[in-house]
Amino acid sequence: MKRDPGSSPAIPDSLLRAGPTLRDRLRSGDVLIGGILTEYARPSLVKLYLEAGFDFLYVEYEHGHFAHTVLADTVLCARDNGLPVIAKTPQLERGAVAKLLECGITGIQLPRTESRADVETLRSYLRFPPLGSRAIAPGYGSSGYRQPPDWSAWMNQQNAETCLVVHIETRMGYEHAAEIISTPGVDMVYVGPGDFSIEMGHPGDYDHPEVAGPMFEILELCVRHGIPFGTTASGPAAAQRLVERGARFFEAIDELTLILEGGRRFVAEYREFYK
């Protein structure tokens, strides 16, 4: 049974709004670095990413495998520690998006965004009426497991906080980039360099002119429309070039790569002792 929203005591907005939103950080002019979660969904990973200095958590939920309750626990820890969370939705479907939103995820990223219609459909799922068609479900992670005393105020807050993240990674997405980026409601644009490099004929070569050139075209469109652009750079030097052109965020590195690279470096240092 739905609880009467008027039966709950007043709750400070600071408690309903868990930490700085992505929009707040992007408006501040910061360049944000995201730690990627691909497999090990644990509150401890959130703590480690915070200690390392990452600005947001990005959940690879298209290819990754997560028990939903474990993912929800991880997102709750991130929210309680002021770390915004972006997640891919595995498909453009209302129920899939709703479950991520009610976990408390701030940004929903749509893989293979290819048209204005894709953006408009996702926007409808993300926004409460009259801006969209999101169904009301207070009392989950999106409200800190509290019942908002004023539903209208909470709905407005959610509409303001939740980010629609376009994910361009196909040739069709590139060809339709202008109409995608100019669609009302787009908050962030990410170019996925893996599939993008394949589509452009140079698999894995993020910095090839035929890959980087179109990516810079998309970046320039974003700058023109005032939409934050992000990607995953091939390394710090490439990231610097992107920032100089106006890039604002990076979905930078995942926990599996960090473990592998850190382990290799550690073992190599020990091997030096007895060559």
Whole-number pLDDT of residue 263: 96
Backbone angles phi, psi at 185, to 5 degrees: 105, -10
pLDDT score at 274 = 79
* Cα four-point dihedral sign 95, 101, 103, 106: positive
Comparing CA positions, the residue from 235, 201, 229 lying closest to residue 215 is 229
Determine the pLDDT at residue 26: 86
User: Across residues 161-185, what is the average pLDDT?
Assistant: 97
Indicate which CATH number applies to the domain containing 56: 3.20.20.60
Contacts of 22 (CB under 8 A, 6+ apart): 32, 56, 84, 86, 106, 107, 163, 187, 188
3 lies in a domain?
no
Q: Is residue 24 very low, low, confident or very high in pLDDT (cuts 50, 70, 90)?
A: confident
Lowest pLDDT segment from 62-66, 98-102, 150-154: 62-66
pLDDT of residue 211: 98
Say if residue 27's pLDDT is above 70: yes
Flag whether 6 is in a domain: no
CB atoms within 10 A of CB 125: 23
Residue 10, domain member (yes or no): no
Number of domains composing the chain? 1
Residue 230 in domain = yes
**Whether the predicted pLDDT of 75 surpasses 70:** yes
Residue 59 lies in a domain: yes
Query: What amino acid occupies position 27?
Result: R
C-alpha 238/C-alpha 244 separation (Å) is: 10
The kind and range of the H/E element at 57 are: strand 56-59
Whole domain around residue 50: which residue ranges? 15-274
pLDDT at 3: 39
Q: Judge contact between 191 and 149, C-beta under 8 A.
A: no
pLDDT at 2: 38
Residue 98 lies in a domain: yes
Q: pLDDT of 213-258, one tens digit each?
A: 999 999 999 999 999 999 999 999 999 999 999 999 999 999 999 9
pTM of the model: 0.90
Residue 226 CA from chain centroid, whole number:
18
* Nearest alpha carbon to residue 79 among 156, 32, 15: 15
pLDDT of 140 reads 93
**Closest of 79, 86, 31, 28 to residue 57, by C-alpha:** 86
- The pair of structure tokens assigned to 23 is 């929009």
Q: How far apart are CA 142 and CA 130, in angstroms?
A: 19
pLDDT for 20: 57
pLDDT of residue 124: 98
Residue 103 lies in a domain: yes
> Measured between alpha carbons, how far is 272 from 231 in angstroms, rounded to an integer?
36
In a domain, 7, yes or no: no
Q: Return the H-helix or E-strand segment holding 252.
A: strand 249-254
251 strand-pairing partners: 34
Enter the tokens of residue 234: 């091939």
pLDDT value of residue 8: 45
SS3 content of the chain, % helix, strand, coil (to 5): 50, 15, 35
